[in-house]
Amino acid sequence: MLFLITQVHAPESCPKDEGGSKRFYNADAEGIKLRAMYGAFAELFIYYVVWV
């Protein structure tokens, strides 16, 4: 099953200098596979498509 996860953050907590958008997910999480990641970076939104 596919899920769309929307992540929003404040400008003060922007991850651009601390690992980037990959900082907000755990690639080693059991049973979940990242299928796509999209960013609306000027709006501080990151979208993840995951397979469970």
Task: Answer for the pair 50, 35: CB distance below 8 angstroms, yes or no.
Answer: yes
Predicted TM-score of the model (pTM): 0.78
From residue 4, how far is each of 11, 17, 34 by CA, in Å? Answer: 22, 25, 10
pLDDT score recorded for residue 31: 93
Q: What would the pLDDT profile of 2-47 be if each residue is shown by its tens digit?
A: 999 999 989 888 887 777 777 778 888 899 999 999 999 889 999 9
- The radius of gyration computed from the CA coordinates of the chain, to the nearest angstrom, equals 11
